Amino acid sequence: MQSPLIRLRVAAGNPTIVERESANIEAAIKRVTDGYQRALSGWWPMADLNSADLFAFVAHRFDEQTVKVTVTGLPVWLHGDSHSLSLAMETLIRQISERFNLAEVDLAATEDEQGCWVEIGWAGSTAAKPALERWLTQPLPSLGGMRVRDVLDHHAGSDIGQEHRSGHSWLRLPMRKGIEQHYQAKVILPTRPEFYDMALLDAARDIGEKGRQPLRSLTFIVFDTETTGLQPSQGDRMVQIGAVRIVNGRILSGESFNRIINPGRQIPVESIKFHGITDDMVKDKPPLGVVLPQFKAFAADAVLVAHNAAFDLKFLRMHEREFGVTFDNPVLDTMMLSNYLDGPETGHSLDAICDRLGISITDRHTALGDAIVTAAVLMNQIDALESRGITTLEQVIKELDMNMVLHERQRAF
Name the strand (E) or helix (H) holding 321: helix 320-323
Could you tell me which of 190, 374, 185 has the C-alpha nearest to residue 273? 190
What pLDDT sits at residue 2? 52
Residue 370 CA, chain-centre distance (Å), reads 12
What pLDDT sits at residue 134? 94
Angle at 113 between CA 107 and CA 114, to 5 degrees: 80
Other residues' Cβ atoms within 10 Å of the Cβ of residue 284 = 8
Residue 16 CA to residue 22 CA, distance in Å, equals 10
Residue 18 CA to residue 30 CA, distance in Å, equals 18
What pLDDT sits at residue 10? 65
Listed by start position, the domains of the chain span 2-43, 47-177, 198-412
Architecture of domain 47-177: 2-Layer Sandwich (3.30)
Residue 210 CA to residue 303 CA, distance in Å, equals 10
Residue 283 CA, chain-centre distance (Å), reads 30
What pLDDT sits at residue 192? 67
Half-sphere exposure of 274 (CA within 13 A, CB side): 19
Name the CATH topology of 198-412.
Nucleotidyltransferase; domain 5 (3.30.420)
Q: Which residues contact 191 (CB under 8 A, 6 or more apart)?
A: 349
Alpha helix locations (H) across 44-189? 51-59, 82-100, 129-136, 148-155
| Helix axis angle, 82-100 to 129-136, nearest 10° | 140
What pLDDT sits at residue 273? 82
How would you classify residue 290: left for phi > 0, otherwise alpha for psi between -120 and 50, otherwise beta?
alpha
Whether the domain at 47-177 and the domain at 198-412 fall into the same CATH topology = no
What pLDDT sits at residue 125? 87
What pLDDT sits at residue 7? 66
What pLDDT sits at residue 19? 76
One-letter amino acid at 17 equals: I
Residue 223 contacts residue 334 (beta carbons within 8 Å): no
What pLDDT sits at residue 376? 95
What pLDDT sits at residue 152? 92
The whole-model pTM stands at 0.80
Other residues' Cβ atoms within 10 Å of the Cβ of residue 12 = 10
Q: Which residues contact 228 (CB under 8 A, 6 or more apart)?
A: 236, 237, 238, 239, 263, 265, 266, 267, 268, 271
Name the strand (E) or helix (H) holding 247: strand 238-247
Residue 170 CA, chain-centre distance (Å), reads 15
Question: Which segments in the chain show pLDDT lower than 70?
Answer: 1-13, 18, 32-44, 181-193, 195-196, 198, 201, 204, 362-365, 406-413
Alpha helix locations (H) across 144-268? 148-155, 209-212
What are the residue numbers of the active site? 365
What pLDDT sits at residue 402? 83
- Round the CA-based radius of gyration of the chain to a whole number and report it: 27
